Amino acid sequence: MTSRASGGTVEQRVQSKSGSGRSLRIAVVLLVAASGALESVSFLGLERVFAGVMTSNLALLGMAVGRGKAVGVTAAVLALAGFGLGVLVGSWCTRGSAMAATRWPRSVLIVLAAEAVLLAVGALVWGLAGGMPGESTRYAMQFGAGLAMGAQSAAMVTAGHAAAPTTYLTGTLATYIVKGVHSGRPGVWVPLRFAGLVAGAAVSAALLKEARAWAALPPVVLTLCALAVARAPLAARRCRSVGRS
């Protein structure tokens, strides 16, 4: 994933200035916001580990082992296993897809749709439990959250130059400073991704405090919005084809 970030910002990777390019950049921001919202639920509401930031989970796993905390070990392993399986399944579903600069392959959209369904199931379970699921349910949801973020990560890798990392932004921040700020061409889309991450996390965190049963809903809504925006170029292209015929 680091090599994905090293290629530069979204606006550098998506060369087209058309509506298609803007739509995909907006979709990326929405997916980042969705991952931020899910991280709030995962860390604050489940087992104190992250759904998509595996570097941190490996560190948390080491801390749990060092302190002899079996619960922390179990949670970190579940998140890591879910993420790994999500990446494997996502890459299998998108294998052979052709990359394009102004659209996401159909297989990528299918994987994101499946992710939205998985998140919706999790939100339903969370809501029915009043935001207070039992231990076994929390473990299952932790695995499912990692699975969703792994699938999303695989989909963004497959989308190539038309996408960008959405589940963690450490490499993105470093690249933005080195190739954007330092060069005098910072752009706006990377800061918007940072803002989306913070906003998504803040919304779910606020819901965890004020309306706990609804806290798992923002990741679903934001992922569905990203899908709708990403499909817009395909819909427009289809309409133009019908008009010419």
Of 72, 88, 219, which is closest to residue 147 (Cα–Cα)?
88
Sign of the Cα torsion 116, 122, 123, 125 reads positive
Length of the chain, in residues: 245
Domains and CATH numbers, the chain: 2-237 (1.20.1250)
Instruction: Give pLDDT tens digits for 86-105.
Output: 999 999 999 887 776 678 99
Mean pLDDT for the stretch of residues 30-37: 98
In single-letter form, the type of residue at position 134 comes to G
CB 50 within 8 A of CB 39: yes
- Say if residue 79's pLDDT is above 80: yes
What pLDDT sits at residue 182?
65
Question: What is the mean pLDDT of the segment spanning 63-90?
Answer: 92
Average pLDDT over residues 227-233: 88
**Which of 49, 216, 50, 71 shows the shortest CA–CA distance to 131?**
216
- In 3D space, the residue among 40, 13, 11, 54 whose CA is nearest the CA of residue 157 turns out to be 13
Question: Regarding predicted confidence, which is higher, 177 or 195?
Answer: 195
Cα dihedral across residues 213, 218, 224, 225: positive or negative: positive
Contacts of 17 (CB under 8 A, 6+ apart): none
pLDDT digits (tens, 9 = 90+) for 103-136: 899 999 999 999 999 999 999 999 999 999 999 9
Tokens 């949670």 belong to residue: 75
CB 214 within 8 A of CB 117: no
pLDDT at 32 over 60: yes
The pLDDT, as a whole number, for residue 7 is: 42
Q: What is the mean pLDDT of residues 161-174?
A: 89
pTM over 0.75: yes
What is residue 4's predicted lDDT score, i.e. its pLDDT? 42
Left (φ > 0), alpha (ψ -120 to 50) or beta: where does 184 sit?
Answer: left
Kindly state the helix (H) or strand (E) to which residue 221 belongs, with its residue range: helix 217-244
| pLDDT for 27 beyond 60 | yes
